[in-house]
């Protein structure tokens, strides 16, 4: 289920009972959660630094007025959005309050839809602030032991830990990009064979033949991960089954010189592979005893913020950038997108966001970004920063980048960067 991006409460402060109830009804009819207060003092006692919503308050009230409440909120957390309701004579005060950080003001009388629209923007602003705080906290307190808050993934990791200690082969099912190889490596790292080799082979690669005899001798005592095992031709599957039989017979005789553990992966269940005649019956019976399913990202949306933070940290480490602030577009995508490319797509989005790449280009490329693409993106970013710093002066940019002019012009052409764009911007 998708999380509503506007899910914080609206604290409504108004000492006129009839006006307060009418305003609350207006907001509630727009699907907003309203907490009503008849005095600023009561509202101030309700608010805490972790408050997730916004405040709508009249300025003219007995006792503590709306401006005094705004000042109190500013001391509590200056990023809590405060919308001021003003009479005609209070507009100048409201404008000054906005200069001091108030989110917006509405002069009486105001249209109901206008009030709801302003409140929604205030709630979106607050959620973006809180998400960026959570992101900064995650970046400053890395914990890569278990990147999940999902009960299903927690159970999966616990099962993987148990299987790591057992000397059995494992099959992993899951959609493309869900992290099947990452789970396989986790099993390897938690097993008694953690110091032995881990070899990953994609069965969908254009191999004319996989030399199992050579591979098994190279990883003796280690793990063999076969990604997309149903892409293996049926004769190769029969050959693999024969090696597994030979391994098990050798174990019974106490021989372990060519011993190994097999982890295989598929995008569908092994029984479906058997029914589709892409998995031979002999290998099916060898692999079908122990199977793990990695759920797609849309089934564990609670993991998205934590994974996104991990990938942002990865980009910052690789590029040397100091910080990243998530914008409203990125936040909306994290909340609402179904991530058909799963964890791999989320990782690509993190790279695009941190490097400030056009999002539409990233959305068109759902495959994994290779090293050349990342290097190119970083190179483009550095050149753009140099041109911005020099107002489009190519000679000075060359000095900053310590790059010959000819080389820089080649890279400008490669990345389709026009220095004149920065000159005109600098002259405005």
CA dist., res. 244 & res. 230, Å (int): 16
The reported pTM is 0.58
CATH architecture, domain 151-294: 3-Layer(aba) Sandwich (3.40)
Q: What is the pLDDT of residues 363-405, one digit of tens each?
A: 444 344 455 655 666 677 778 777 877 878 888 888 878 888 8
Q: Is the pLDDT of residue 102 over 80?
A: yes
Q: Domain segments of the chain: what residues? A: 10-132, 151-294, 320-427
For 52-109, the DSSP string reads: -SEEEEES--SSS-HHHHHHHHHHH-TTS-EEEEE-GGGHHHHHHHHHTT--EEEESS
Q: What is the pLDDT of residues 133-178, one digit of tens each?
A: 777 766 665 554 446 778 888 899 889 989 998 889 999 999 988 9
Tokens linked to 372:
């050349």
Mean pLDDT of 56-83: 91
Provide mean pLDDT across the span 264-285: 87
The model's pLDDT over 208-217, given as tens digits with 9 standing for 90+, comes to 578 898 898 8
Residue 15 CB partners (closer than 8 Å, separation 6+): 38, 39, 58, 61, 62
Paired tokens of 333: 């995508």
Q: What is the C-alpha separation between 170 and 148, in angstroms, rounded?
A: 22
Asked whether residue 427 carries a pLDDT value surpassing 70, the answer given is: no
Angle made by CA atoms 143, 350, 364, in degrees to the nearest 5: 150
pLDDT at 162: 92
Mean pLDDT of 245-257: 86
Residue of 344, 21, 326 whose CA lies nearest to 174: 344
Write down the pLDDT at residue 360: 47
Confidence check: pLDDT of 38 > 90: yes
pLDDT at 242: 92
**Where would I find the beta strands (DSSP E) of 166-260?**
170-173, 198-202, 223-227
pLDDT of amino acid 139: 60
Least confident of 126-140, 258-272, 360-374: 360-374
Q: Is the pLDDT of residue 44 over 90?
A: yes
State the helix-helix crossing angle for 66-76 and 91-99, rounded to 10 degrees.
Answer: 10
Task: List, as one string, the DSSP characters of 358-394.
Answer: -HHHHHH--S---HHHHHHHHHHHHHHHHHHHHTT-H
pLDDT over threshold 60, residue 46: yes
Nearby residues of 216 by Cβ (< 8 Å), 6 or more positions away: 224, 243, 247, 258, 260
The pLDDT of residue 95 is 79
Mean pLDDT, residues 109-128: 88
User: Which positions ≥6 away from 246 have C-beta within 8 Å?
Assistant: none
Choose among 171, 280, 287, 169: nearest CA to 235.
280
Q: What is the mean pLDDT of the chain?
A: 83
**Running DSSP on this structure, what letter comes out for residue 258?**
T
Once rounded to an integer, what is the mean pLDDT over residues 293-305? 90
Among 301, 308, 309, which residue's Cα sits nearest to residue 136? Answer: 309
Angle at Cα 37 formed by Cα 35 and Cα 40, nearest 5°? 125
Q: What is the pLDDT at residue 361?
A: 46
What is the average per-residue pLDDT within 192-209? 80
| Under 8 Å between Cβ of 123 and 10 | yes
Coil, strand or helix at 194: coil
Phi first, then psi: what are they for 337, rounded to 5°?
-75, 145
Under a CB-based contact definition with an 8 Å cutoff, are residues 83 and 56 in contact? yes
Q: List the CATH code of the domain at 10-132.
A: 3.40.50.2300
What is the average pLDDT across 239-260?
88
What phi-psi label fits residue 392: left (phi over 0), alpha (psi between -120 and 50 degrees) or beta?
left
* The predicted structure's pLDDT at residue 318: 77
Q: How far is CA 73 from CA 34, 81, 121, in A?
A: 18, 9, 18
Q: Write the CB contacts of 14 (distance below 8 Å, at least 6 apart in sequence).
A: 20, 23, 36, 37, 38, 57, 58, 61, 85
Per-residue confidence (pLDDT) for residue 366, from 0 to 100: 37
Residue with tokens 């881990």: 198
Rounded (5°) CA angle 375-378-384: 140
Does position 124 have pLDDT exceeding 80, yes or no?
A: yes
Statement: residue 2 has pLDDT above 60: no
For residues 235 and 211, is the Cβ–Cβ distance under 8 A? no
Matching fold, domains 10-132 and 151-294: yes
Residue 428: predicted pLDDT: 42
The whole-angstrom separation of Cα 356 and Cα 350 is: 10
């Amino acid at each position: 289920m998708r999380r509503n991006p506007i899910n914080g409460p609206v604290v409504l402060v108004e000492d006129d009972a009839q006006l307060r109830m009418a305003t609350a009804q207006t907001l509630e009819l727009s699907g907003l959660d309203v907490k009503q207060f008849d005095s600023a003092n009561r509202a101030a006692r309700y608010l805490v630094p972790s408050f997730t919503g916004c405040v709508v308050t009249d300025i003219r009230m007995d006792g503590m007025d709306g401006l005094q409440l705004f000042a109190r909120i500013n001391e509590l957390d200056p990023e809590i959005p405060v919308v001021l309701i003003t009479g005609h004579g209070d507009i100048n005060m409201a404008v000054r309050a906005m200069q001091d950080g108030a989110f917006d003001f509405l002069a009486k009388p105001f249209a109901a839809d206008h009030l709801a629209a302003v409140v929604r923007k205030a709630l979106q602003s607050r959620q973006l602030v809180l998400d960026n705080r959570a992101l900064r906290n995650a970046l400053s307190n890395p914990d890569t032991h278990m990147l999940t808050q999902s009960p299903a993934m927690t159970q999966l990791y616990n099962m993987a830990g148990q299987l790591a200690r057992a000397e059995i082969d494992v099959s992993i099912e899951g959609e493309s990009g869900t992290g099947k190889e990452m789970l396989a490596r986790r099993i390897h790292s938690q097993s008694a064979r953690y110091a032995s080799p881990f070899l990953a082979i994609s069965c969908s690669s254009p191999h004319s033949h996989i030399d199992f005899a050579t591979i098994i001798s190279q990883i003796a005592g280690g793990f063999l991960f076969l990604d997309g095992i149903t892409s293996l031709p049926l004769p190769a599957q029969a050959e693999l089954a024969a090696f597994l039989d030979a391994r098990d017979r050798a174990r019974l005789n106490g021989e372990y010189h060519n011993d190994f553990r097999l982890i295989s992966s598929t995008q569908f269940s092994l029984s479906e592979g058997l029914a589709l005649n892409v998995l031979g019956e002999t290998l099916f019976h060898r692999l079908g005893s122990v199977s793990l399913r990695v759920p797609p990202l849309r089934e564990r949306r609670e993991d998205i913020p934590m994974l996104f933070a991990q990938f942002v940290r990865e980009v910052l480490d690789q590029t040397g950038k100091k910080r990243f602030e998530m914008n409203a577009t990125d936040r909306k995508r994290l909340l609402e997108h179904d991530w058909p490319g799963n964890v791999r797509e989320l990782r690509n989005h993190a790279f695009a966001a941190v490097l400030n790449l056009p999002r539409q280009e990233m959305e068109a490329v759902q495959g994994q970004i290779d090293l050349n693409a990342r290097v190119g993106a970083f190179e483009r970013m550095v050149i753009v920063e140099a041109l911005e710093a020099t107002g489009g002066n190519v000679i000075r940019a060359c000095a900053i980048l310590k790059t010959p002019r000819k080389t820089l012009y080649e890279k400008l052409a490669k990345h389709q960067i026009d220095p004149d764009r920065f000159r005109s911007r600098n002259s405005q």
